[in-house]
Structure 1
Amino acid sequence: MTVTCRKATEQDVDTLYEIIKGYAEQGIMLPRSKEMLERQIDTFVVAELGEQMVGCGALTRLGQDLVEIRSLGVTDGHKGQGIGKKLVNFLIGEAREQGIPKVMALTYEVAFFERNGFHVVPKEIFPEKVWTDCIHCKKQHCCDEIAVLKRLD
């Protein structure tokens, strides 16, 4: 079977919630409520293997020329099969369609993003991120995530 990526719909909220919850419980992804997912469903994409959702990710606009890949995850049993790469490529395609030249992420999986054309950069170059999300994070003053950036221009 082939993995396909598509934009998420409201029918995907429960499964998105479960995928993200699994990562959040490990402390490697910010939790998202079902209500938040419903409000932001247009920012999410999903990866499917047949009828089964096996991954997700979101593209969130942080400024005129910057978007963030967030909530990127693949279900247990499906990791290491190129699904994350397909999701990232799909999200980068979305950024290109929107004419946004910079895509960033905060991650613990630096090598994965580097294999996908991203480069490590200082977090401080993203004040848009700091003031929209980081200010509410419990790790705000001891963040151990690494910032990565890919320029599309």
Structure 2
Amino acid sequence: MSVVCRSAVPEDVEALYELIEGYAAKGIMLPRSREALARTIDTFIVASDDERLIGCGSLCRLGSDLVEIRSLGIADGYKGQGIGSKLVDALIAEAKLQGIPKVMALTYESAFFQKNGFQIVDKEIFPEKVWTDCVNCPKQHCCDEIAVVRIIEPAQENEQLSFAQM
């Protein structure tokens, strides 16, 4: 099986919706409407095999020096094969190209993120996140997610990264 990470396109909206909805139904990811996905399609990177979309993740800008990895998920039957790490690498590369030095996530899978170079931190150090999303979350006062962050170096002017290299 050959897995390719690439920028999402409008034709991916339905597959993204179904993948994210599966996680949201379990209470481990915030739901996203088809309309919201269509509006933010340019923030998503997807993983696909030869036949279908099998993973996704997006970057949400929270400030001039901070982005959040969100909606990171892998289709059933494809977990544990390194696809999540490929998606994180592609998202980190995108943040690097945008010159954003801090990448954070709220997760239930802190070991996965630590394996990918993130450190566990206190979520209160991200007021940008708290006031953007957490204020509307049903778990606002009893949040059980773990905050992680990774500091990256901005890309050099001559550095070009391609998702196909991931």
Place the TM-score, normalised by the shorter chain, in its bin. Answer: over 0.9
The root-mean-square deviation of aligned C-alpha atoms, in Å, is 0.5
Larger relative contact order (Cα-Cα within 8 Å, sequence gap ≥ 6) = 2
Q: Which residue does 1:18 correspond to in 2?
A: 18
SS across alignment from 1:120 = strand
Whole-angstrom distance in 1 between the partners of 2:89 and 2:117: 10
**AA paired with 1:128?**
E
Whole-angstrom distance in 1 between the partners of 2:103 and 2:67: 5
Deviations 1:47-92 (A, max 9, x none): 0111211000001100000000000000000000000000000000
Aligned: 1:34 with 2:18: no
Deviations 1:75-124 (A, max 9, x none): 00000000000000000000000000000000000000000000000000
Q: Which residue does 1:6 correspond to in 2?
A: 6
More strand per residue: 1
- How many percent of aligned residue pairs carry the same amino acid? 68
TM-score norm. by structure 2 comes to: 0.91
Whole-angstrom distance in 2 between the partners of 1:84 and 1:37: 20
Whole-angstrom distance in 2 between the partners of 1:94 and 1:21: 25
Segments ≥4 residues shifted beyond 3 Å: none
Q: Name the count of aligned residue pairs.
A: 153
SS across alignment from 1:141 = helix
Whole-angstrom distance in 2 between the partners of 1:8 and 1:138: 29
Q: Which runs of 5+ in 1 are unaligned?
A: none
SS across alignment from 2:58 = strand
TM-score norm. by structure 1 comes to: 0.99
Q: Which residue does 2:83 correspond to in 1?
A: 83
Q: Which residue does 2:48 correspond to in 1?
A: 48
SS across alignment from 1:81 = coil
Q: Which residue does 1:73 correspond to in 2?
A: 73
Aligned: 1:129 with 2:129: yes
**AA paired with 1:127?**
P
Q: Which runs of 5+ in 2 are unaligned?
A: 154-166
